[in-house]
Structure 1
Amino acid sequence: MLQAHRGAVLHFLQDPDVAPAEDAWAHYPDGLLVTEGDRVHSVGPASSLLASLPADCPVRRHDNALLLPGFIDTHIHLPQMEMVGAHGEQLLEWLEKYVFPAEAKFADAAYAGAVSERFLDELLRNGTTTAMVFGSVHAVSVEVFFQACERRGLRMIAGKAMMDRHCPDTVRDSAGSAYRDSKRLIQDWHGRGRLRYAVTPRFAPTSSPEQLALAGQLLREHPGVYLQTHMSENLDEVAWVGRLFPEAPHYLGAYDAAGLLGRRSVFAHCIHLTDGEWTRLADSASNIAFCPTSNLFLGSGLFSLRCARKHGIHVGLGTDIGGGTSFSLLQTLNEAYKVLQLRGERLSPLKAFYLATLGGARTLDLEDTLGNFMPGKEADFIVVDTACTPLLAFRLQHCRDLAETLFVLSTLGDDRAIRETWSGGRRVHHRDAPATRPDSMESA
């Protein structure tokens, strides 16, 4: 059945940095987004599409709102939700003091399941419809997370963390057990509905060369699965990798030797890269998750979007909960702008929202599936309330054009701006209604 949503509509067709304006995005101040079941049917000006709708097609009006594709978070940690905002450490000390104790709790399936529900509530409340998610080292953390996603019909990518050294016993596996657990999870969940699996070594220091090699073996044995890990986040970390992998030409070389680079490989952070690493990432079509709130909070450094653009590397945004301090991709864009300002680089508002939508889809090799409103794509979208606070409503009255409107949204907006979130043609979050669970979610 067709269903139409009327309001201002914006989506991206190309990267605004490389395509002419008329080819990069489509903006309809009075637009119509038409869905059919779980797919986009059509999009365009309301004046031209309304007449083509069948008489029984419902039309929802979204006043004082902007309809956007669902936000895409390319790097986030499920087991770190409880310690967001932990004070006073940089990366390596922070892992030992806060992260590993929190992640140890995810050996308990009931606890992991309860946090998974809260985690998904928070994602949807912030307009994120797809995310690439780290589980804990415990296979059950990913099993219960996938079960929760399946009940809600969400498109998510997740994987069990792999760590066989330099970590407490409570969060340690072995090279062999990590391979076996990951293989079973791939067989059970990868490609099941809208779910995908990511092979997930935490980072090179906590995986032995044997474990990294088995991660590469999983990628070869299961074409189409993803790889997610961390790289070059912190200078002490980079130096540590140099000592642990003296034969590698650089940090990336430790992953490259294990066969972990490729089109579905996403490396979070990538702040302190050498020229050789930038070139190799580009040559291997690997991708980067830019995590500005985390990088600022942990004092890790400033990512260069300019270098990524120069090398033609796909970049998505990551909230990186719990090093990051907000589930909101609007707030992530706010901090991304500031990071790039400090580097003397420019982030245009249109590029920013591209990164949060189609750019994220390209980073996750999902451009053919989601990221904009082209007909046939999955109907994941959000309704952004442009009058959600008195200050935002007042400020937007004085915006001169679309770019300024978007910039103000990303500067002053947060979870309060997400009025509704729709996934696969179903409303899965309504800000002004009681929290919904899968058995009560509204169908198209």
Structure 2
Amino acid sequence: MTMPPGILISAPSSGTGKTTVMLGLLRALAEDGLAVQPFKSGPDYIDPAFHHAAARRPAFNLDTWAMPSTLVGGISEQAKGADIVVAEGSMGLFDGVATRGEGGFGSSAETALMMGWPVVLVIDVGGQAQSAAATALGFKSYNPEVPFAGVILNRCASPRHERLARLGMDQAGINVLGVLPRRGDLTLPERHLGLIQAIEHPDLEAAIAGYAAFLRSHVDIEAIKATARAGDAKTGTLPRPPAQRIALARDTAFSFTYPHLLTGWRNSGAEVLPFSPLANEAPDPSADLVWLPGGYPELHAGTLAANQTYLSGLRKHAQTKPVHGECGGYMALGTALIDKEGTRHEMAGLLGLVTSYEKRKFHLGYRQATLQAPMLGFDAGARLRGHEFHYSTILEEPDAPLANVGDADGNPVPETGSIKGNVTGTFFHMISEATS
């Protein structure tokens, strides 16, 4: 496969506006008639849905810590038929973990280097002028092997501010690809896990069209296209399905699924059968497996507790066939979920887990797990890589542990997951099986 030319949009840190730039650029290129393949560097299950909406083409995650090279190759093959690739980094360009994973430390710079994509750095110049050039120069020179395309200066206050910022960039030899004036109306709505989900945005299409128009007015789209570079073609495989017929909970309460998993399952001939717990739908009785992904069950706990058709169908399936939940899905399989107001809601009761959002505790980071029991088609002893991100606290977890779990550096993590009969659950979102 010939890899189309690509770029990676990154920043010195989170909160600089790179997602706005990413969505606007995806849509502008698509409006120009290009087939644009979006990717997201790192473990993010919200941004790819926004990318899909903007590019009108499915987006995928690439992760240098959690993914073996064969999986990276299989995912990069999804760019087949595209004219250009645009990837979005996570956090700051060089931010990762301390211990090497499957292919690196998990930074966006590693993704750019691996794929050969030049970096477009979005810099928030608020509160500075020429000094922003020192930041840009530091990022350009920190690892000279990482290809560097130039910068987009964001949140510029005035024409004078722009002249001063450009002067600094000229003196540092940094290519300025665009300057975005300060606009307070271009932010995306957020909640405790970051952006709201794309399906929840009140008018996502209008927002993305606005971002594209904004970029066209202030960024040199042709110059950005000219910086895109084709890297070495990758080949590989996507994950195989854990069952032939998979009932997948899919609504605003359960939507955090990694696209490479579902694509791999479907490509191998598995049938994915969506159902909505919020709409009181039971999983398909003919399914071999029921899977509840992560999401926001805490925002809909009362509805889920009252939906007896969904609950009875789930419980009936668990009597004879496997059920698995990740993070929010794990909580929904438990005995009870206590919301932030302190109200207790009875969940499916297939596991003894009781979780609380009244007592918030932040959990974030990569996870490596060795299974003590089979899960999602993996045998006991299998080693998995994943990511955990939630604010809930475990009050009760009486069932047998599912796995030995550690963070990226191998330090033990107490959230080991649970198994009871045919039901399993984890707080980490699985990304891949470890190979090393």
TM-score, normalised to structure 2, is 0.28
Bigger Rg over Cα: 2
Relative CO higher for 1 or 2, CA cutoff 8 Å, sep ≥ 6? Answer: 1
Looking at secondary structure, tell me which structure has more helix per residue: 1
TM-score, normalised to structure 1, is 0.28
